[in-house]
């Protein structure tokens, strides 16, 4: 156990009260329950789903019904532990997996906890997120990170995990050709994961020149649109959720290949059915991740994944509202909210 001061009685928290209504509030610091740790939050990544909650009051099937704290990409330092947790963990730097499954359903029993129908997810309605100074999380969801990994990178274990699980769904292996559509954080991590898994040709499609330049630095060919892409691919990693991109991207998958839909986009979307059926293209969805945290942390520590280069802006919690009211330009990639020192 490191020499860590006890947590204070109150803290600052950024609550979303409704559409476009963020308020910085003073509230009590929670006490960790049995099997939980109290995290002094370090850095929090802002995700596209956070933007949807702010502007629409919902993200995919998660609907806001009362004020809540966003922030599901996060890490920090353990400040206190609940009953049943080793006190030696106090002071430990961790990255947190926000998905909390029930552990008892059929999906959980077969290891597919990411599709647990009653799962909770820190940062969406029903489970407190990390845009506050302290948050209590299950101890088993807090994974130690070495000092070689920055606080920002510890927060980005979450989006890298999305990309890693997408690559698992796509069964990317040595020599595969991979088409990635979208040069946001998920797409840029998807290409890094594909390269780490031994993919041969990796092409990233993104209209923003600076994002294409970043992708090229990660070892990908780049194109501004699908119209510029030639050839067929073993795997499509569709990270935009844009209907036209999803539709046209499927046409670039080889017979017997895999189209992996990562970006959510509209509630209903079409695909080119003749192309999919006649060429037996497998379409696979991606629901978050499972068993990814140790792999991603090891990859960051070994330099296989580069996260810090994607950070375009860092804001203190007191100015976090700017992440929504002053959005990044299309050329920028990632906003990090710095909560703790």
**Per-residue confidence (pLDDT) for residue 3, from 0 to 100:** 66
The pLDDT, as a whole number, for residue 270 is 83
Residues 19-38: tens digit of each pLDDT = 999 999 999 999 999 999 99
pLDDT score for 53: 94
**Is residue 264 over pLDDT 90?**
no
pLDDT for residue 330: 73
Give yes or no for residue 5 having a pLDDT over 90: no
Per-residue model confidence as pLDDT tens digits over 275-328: 899 999 999 999 999 999 999 999 999 999 999 999 999 999 999 999 999 877
Q: What is the pLDDT of residues 58-69, one digit of tens each?
A: 988 889 999 999
**pLDDT confidence of residue 265:** 77
3-state secondary structure the chain: CCCCCCCCCEEEEEEEEECCEEEEEEEECCCCCCCEEEEEEEEEECCHHHHHHHHHCEECCEECCCCEECCCEEEEEEEEECCCCCHHHCCCEEEECCEECCCCCHHHHCCCHHHCCCCEECCCCCCCCCCECEEEEEHHHEEECCCCCCHHHHHCHHHHHHHHHHHHHCCCCCCCCEEEECCCHHHHHHHHHHHHCCCCCEEEECCCHHHHHHHHHCCCEEECCHHHCCCCEEEEEECCCCHHHHHHHHCCEEEEEEEEECCCCCCCCCCCHHHHHHCCCEEEECCCCCCCHHHHHHHHHHCCCCCHHHEEEEEEHHHCCHHHHCCCCCCCCEEEEECCC
- The model's pLDDT over 38-48, given as tens digits with 9 standing for 90+, comes to 999 999 999 98
Portion of the chain with pLDDT greater than 90, in percent: 91
**Domains along the chain?**
10-156+307-338 (3.90.180.10), 165-285 (3.40.50.720)
Confidence of residue 267 (pLDDT cuts 50, 70, 90): confident
Instruction: Report residue 2's pLDDT band, with 50, 70 and 90 as the boundaries.
Output: low
């Amino acid at each position: 156990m490191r020499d860590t001061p006890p947590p204070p009685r109150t803290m600052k928290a950024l609550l979303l009260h409704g559409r476009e209504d963020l308020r910085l509030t003073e509230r009590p610091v929670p006490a960790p329950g049995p099997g939980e740790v109290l995290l002094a939050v370090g850095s929090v990544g802002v995700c596209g789903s956070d933007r949807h909650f702010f502007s629409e009051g919902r993200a995919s099937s998660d609907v806001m019904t009362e004020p809540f704290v966003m922030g599901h990409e996060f890490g920090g330092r353990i400040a206190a532990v609940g009953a049943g947790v080793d006190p030696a963990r106090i002071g430990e730097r961790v990255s947190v997996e926000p998905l909390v499954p029930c552990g008892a359903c059929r999906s959980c029993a077969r290891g597919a906890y990411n599709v647990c129908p009653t799962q909770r997810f820190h940062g969406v309605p029903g489970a407190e997120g990390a845009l506050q100074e302290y948050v209590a999380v299950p101890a088993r969801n807090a994974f130690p990170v070495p000092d070689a990994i920055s606080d920002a990178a510890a927060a980005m274990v979450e989006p890298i995990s999305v990309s890693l699980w997408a690559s698992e769904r796509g069964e990317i292996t040595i020599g595969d050709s991979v088409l990635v559509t979208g040069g946001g954080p998920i797409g840029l991590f998807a290409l890094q994961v594909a390269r780490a898994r031994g993919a041969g040709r990796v092409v990233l499609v993104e209209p923003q020149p600076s994002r294409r330049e970043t992708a090229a630095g990660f070892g990908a060919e780049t194109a501004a649109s699908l119209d510029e892409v030639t050839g067929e691919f073993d795997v499509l990693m569709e990270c935009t959720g844009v209907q036209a991109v999803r539709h046209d991207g499927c046409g670039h998958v080889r017979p017997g290949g895999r189209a992996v839909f990562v970006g959510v986009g509209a509630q209903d979307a079409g695909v080119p059915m003749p192309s999919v059926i006649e060429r037996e293209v497998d379409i696979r969805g991606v629901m978050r991740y499972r068993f990814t945290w140790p792999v991603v942390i090891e990859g960051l520590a070994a330099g296989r994944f580069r996260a810090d280069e994607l950070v375009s802006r860092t804001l203190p919690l007191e100015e976090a509202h700017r992440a929504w009211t002053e959005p990044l330009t299309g050329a920028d990639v990632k906003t990090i909210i710095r909560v703790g020192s």
